[in-house]
Amino acid sequence: MHELTTKQDRFVNEFLVDFDASKAAIRSGYSEHSAKSIGSENLSKPYIKEAIKIQLDKLSTETFINREMILTGLLKEAMDRGERSTSASRVAAWSHLAKVCGLYLDVQVTTTVDDIIRDITASNAANRNGLLPKDNCRMPPLKVDAQGEYY
């Protein structure tokens, strides 16, 4: 692999903070005036792409929490009917699951039809027209014990 300069190495680490190449370039010591072009140029270099991929892989193996754990936890909370569970927590969990699965879009369209103003969310319109794939979100399999408890 190509040896990174000190600034390029800092760029890789700073890029992983917020995935903004311009801001990463500035924080790495590049000029604010050239940050956008330097950030774009750095991301186009194969050896910098490889360094970013290696760092991401390293972070994902070191990270204790992964996507499946989050989905499993949210699903458990959404399905929980125990004493300490509330309907608000279940609704919030379902809402977060829907967002993770791409069923919520933060786009709202206001239209006027026959002098009636209607707000239509993009997710509702997509569902109504059958545009969202049925397997948009692959949930981890539920494990159910003999008493019907989810864990």
87-128 pLDDT, tens per residue? 888 888 888 888 777 676 555 556 666 666 665 555 444 444
Mean pLDDT on 71-90: 87
Q: Is 112 helix (H, G, I), strand (E, B) or coil?
A: strand
Query: pTM above the 0.85 mark?
Result: no
7-47 pLDDT, tens per residue? 999 999 999 888 899 999 999 999 999 999 999 999 999 99
- Alpha helices by DSSP H, listed for the chain, are 6-18, 21-27, 35-44, 46-62, 67-79, 87-100, 122-128
Strand partners of residue 120: 109
First to last CA, the chain: 45
Tokens of 130: 């059958």
Q: DSSP character for 142? A: P
Neighbours of 90 (CB within 10 A): 15
Domains of the chain: residue spans and CATH? 6-62 (1.10.10.1400), 65-100 (no CATH), 104-131 (no CATH)
